[in-house]
Amino acid sequence: MKMLNKITVWASIFLLPGFIAAIALSMGPTDVTIFSAINNRSATTAAILLLRLQRVSMAFIVGAALATSGCIFQALLKNPLAEPYTLGVSSGAALGATVAIIFTMQWISAFAFCGGLFTVIVIYVIAKKIQFNTTAIILAGISMSFVLSSSVLLLFAFSKPDAIHKALMWLSGDLSMARFEYLQPLGWGILILIVTALLFHRQLDIISFGTRFAAIHGIGFWQISILFWIASLATSITVAAAGIIGFIGLIIPHAVRLLKTEHFLLIPLSAIAGGTMLVIADTIGRTIVMPYEIPCGIITGFCGGIFFLILLLKQKDSI
Amino acid sequence: MKLFECINIVCSYTTIPVLNNISLTINNGDFIGIIGPNGAGKSTLLKCLARILAPVSGNIYYNGNDITAIPKKQYAQQVATVTEIEHLLPYTVESFVALGRFPHSSFGRYDDEDISIIDNAIAYCAINTIKNKKLTQLSSGELQRVNIARALAQSTQCILLDEPISHLDIRHTTAIMDILQDLHRNGSTIITIIHDINIASEYCSRIIGLKQGTIIFDDTPEKCITYHTIEALFDCICLVYNNPISNKPFVYPVPGHIQYNKHRQ
């Protein structure tokens, strides 16, 4: 019986994302579904499905990257509240994107990426100075976030309303503005980062027990640095591609941790769950009030928050 | 044969030194108990040996090599440390013990030999029955045994322990000290911080008394546990007898309400 339960769990872990992707592909303003495409192989159906496939893939990649990054940050910072944006990457990217939207209206992703990367570099230099004292890193990240967010608000104060609206939509995580021409390199890049993180799964296990614990197992500064950069790069890339999508990086690792604690499984499971979650959120966002779109960041924050509260109440001892 | 050699180590967290010019030699096969009042620098000394903390000045040599020159992973293959776990996570006992094998693995992959060493460590500490339990569900006695099993999985020549028997009942205390003694008989070097002087006297082959960052005495229990040394170390009144069963020194700290005055006797 227990064995059967296990098989059901594992099968659903791999089948569910595929099933959800199929549903996501079949939903949209035009009435094209996967089944109709099988019966009617016209160029328009194919084109529409391809567009949706890009969108779904983008959502999956971004969700997977955020969940993995959240996993790594929670282990590195030994803080259950750590997430990809704890260190201020999102605020840096937001500032970059806002500057681009207000002044040039182009290169938004590039500006966002540079903004995020700049923040990571500043935090890394600080972290190195304080020898990866985790509480201090978190405080440094929060301080950075405040400085950068204030700068964004300052820019808003001097901008036109339509630019502000556009920036706000971008800031709330909007996959409709995603750069689909970069889908392939993005996918490969994120996959490489996730696989590299997976190679360090035991280090992550050990590091999450504490700094001293890591030291007595011979884990040095370079291993911590590599993990820091994997997580930071994954975050910066996703922010540049799709804006700020909150909550996936926080709740998914926590939810998966209820199932598995070892990072060898935690990372791939989080990636799959994060990707699937964002596909669902994005599908809801683009279909619930058709033909308008709600940025998926709003959906993840809303549904994710409620979902996590339910989970917390159900499993209050194991978190 | 010398295993550790500390030469003039000074250690400080602020400007006040916690360890004051300590020089110390530890030989292969020693079973050392470090005793002393709270804040004497015992944990700091152990952290220096474990390379959790680097001394401000002075050198520590391991097997004749400066420890800062030994790669950290290689060092972890030879010296295991048992300290309090900072963040207790709901890992199973078995997967936690397996983490101890990490310094011997490449990319965290374990082969059959690694797995049999992990199983042996679990059997050695008699935690077979709880190996599928979560760490967060264990009692402190069980947790300490699990933590020692993890250190055993590191299969090192030397084990450092920071207060392994604090807060444990007498059954768990003797169980853990018996494990350590057994390891010592099989040739391991054990260095442990210990607050119970009588337990230290029973088990350790050598006692180091540390006070205010300096070594007050360093000898076999029979020689160094006398009421002069213990009273000087802890600034309290105590009596030292011989334990009639093991013939080792036995310390009785005199409670205040007894108002015992040894000079009157």
Determine whether the interchain pair A261/B76 forms a contact, defined as Cβ–Cβ distance below 8 Å: no
With CA atoms as reference, report the closest residue to B49 among B36, B62, B34: B62
pLDDT for position B12: 85
Range from A132-136, B105-109, B220-224 that averages highest in pLDDT: B220-224
Nearest CB among B50, B90, B95 relative to A318 is that of B90
Does any CB of chain B come closer than 8 Å to the CB of residue A32? Answer: no
Domains along the sequence of chain B with CATH: 2-71+196-264 (3.40.50.300)
Task: Measure CB to CB from residue B86 to each of A209, A219, A261 and give the nearest one.
Answer: A209
B265 by DSSP, 3-state: which?
A: coil
Among B44, B53, B67, B72, pick the best mutation site for testing chain A contact (most A Cβ within 10 A).
Answer: B72
Verify whether the Cβ–Cβ distance A78 to B83 is below 8 Å: no
Chain A contact for B78, CB < 8 A? no
Residue B219 pairs with which residues in a beta bridge? B207
Pairing, β B214-219 against β B206-211: antiparallel
For residue B147, give how far its alpha carbon lies from the nearest alpha carbon of chain A (Å). 11
Question: A65 and A193 in contact (C-beta within 8 Å)?
Answer: yes
pLDDT digits (tens, 9 = 90+) for A165-192: 888 877 777 777 666 677 888 899 999 9
Q: Is B50 on the interface with A (CB under 8 A)?
A: yes
Q: Where are the domains of chain A?
A: 2-314
Of residues A199, A209, A210, nearest to B107 (C-beta): A199
Is B102 within 8 Å of A208 when comparing Cβ atoms? Answer: no
- Which one of A217, A259, A265 would you mutate to disrupt binding with B, by most B Cβ within 10 Å of its Cβ? A217
**Are B50 and A215 an interchain contact pair (Cβ–Cβ within 8 Å)?**
yes
Residue A213 touches partner B, C-beta closer than 8 Å: yes
CA-based nearest residue to A127, from A136, A119, A115: A136
Q: How far apart are the first and last CA of chain A?
A: 27
Residues of A in contact with B133 (CB under 8 A): none
Chains A–B, number of C-beta pairs less than 8 Å apart: 74
ipTM for this model: 0.87
pLDDT at A178: 62
Residue A138 tokens read as: 């978190």
DSSP designation for B92 = B
- Summarize the confidence of residues B196-220 as an average pLDDT: 91
* B8 SS3 class: strand
The tens-digit pLDDT sequence of chain A (319 residues) is 566 777 777 777 778 888 888 787 777 777 667 666 666 667 777 777 788 888 888 889 999 999 999 999 999 888 877 888 888 888 898 899 888 888 877 788 888 889 999 999 999 898 888 877 888 888 888 899 999 989 988 988 888 888 888 888 777 777 776 666 778 888 999 999 999 999 999 999 999 998 889 989 988 888 888 999 999 999 988 888 888 888 888 888 888 888 788 888 899 999 999 999 888 888 888 888 777 778 888 888 887 778 778 877 876 555 4
**Mean pLDDT across the stretch B57-61?**
91
Residue B237's pLDDT band (cuts 50, 70, 90) = confident
How close is the nearest chain B Cα to the Cα of A210, in Å? 5
Q: Residue B90 and residue A261: Cβ atoms within 8 Å? A: yes
Kindly determine whether residue A78 and residue B74, on different chains, have CB atoms separated by under 8 Å. Answer: no
Whether residue B255 has pLDDT greater than 50:
yes
- Contact assignment for A218 to B71 by CB distance below 8 Å: yes
Q: Which residues of A touch B108 (CB under 8 A)?
A: 199-203, 264
Establish if B256 touches chain A: CB-CB under 8 angstroms.
no
B116 in contact with A at a CB cutoff of 8 Å? no
Q: How far is A160 from chain B (nearest CA, A)?
A: 49
- Residue window 174-213, chain B: list those with CB within 8 Å of chain A: none
Rounded Cα distance between A79 and A70, Å, is 11
- Give the strand pairing for B214-219 and B238-242: unpaired
Does residue A260 belong to the interface with chain B, where contact is any CB pair within 8 Å?
no
Closest CA to A83 of A218, A300, A252, A257: A252
By Cβ distance, the residue of A213, A217, A264 closest to B103 is A217
Longest Cα–Cα distance in chain A: 65
Q: How far is B22 from chain A (nearest CA, A)?
A: 22
Which residues in B lie closer than 8 A to residue A221 (C-beta atoms)? none
Please tell me if residue B89 touches chain A, with a CB cutoff of 8 Å: yes
Q: Report pLDDT for B32.
A: 94
Cβ pair A218:B103 closer than 8 A: yes
Question: Cβ separation of A218 and B77 shorter than 8 Å?
Answer: yes
B239 lies within 8 A of chain A by CB: no
pLDDT at B193 over 90: yes
- Segment A197-243, tens digit of pLDDT: 999 999 999 999 988 899 899 888 888 889 999 999 999 888 888 88
Phi-psi region of B193 (alpha: psi -120 to 50; beta: other; left: phi over 0): beta
**pLDDT confidence of residue A231:** 92
Residues B117-173: pLDDT tens digits? 999 999 988 888 998 889 888 888 889 989 999 999 998 989 999 999 888 889 889
Element containing residue A259 per DSSP (H, E): none
Identity of the residue in A213, A218, A262 whose CB atom sits nearest the CB atom of B95:
A262
The C-alpha of B216 sits at a distance from chain A's nearest C-alpha, in angstroms, of: 28
The fold for domain A2-314 equals ABC transporter involved in vitamin B12 uptake, BtuC (1.10.3470)
What does the DSSP 8-state code read for residue B160? E
Task: Name the packing angle between helices A43-76 and A221-242 (round to 10°).
Answer: 150
Task: For residue B76, give the nearest of A203, A210, A216 by CB distance.
Answer: A216
Place B265 in a pLDDT band, splitting at 50, 70 and 90.
very low
- pLDDT value for A183: 84
User: What CA–CA distance (Å, rounded) separates A282 from A300?
Assistant: 8
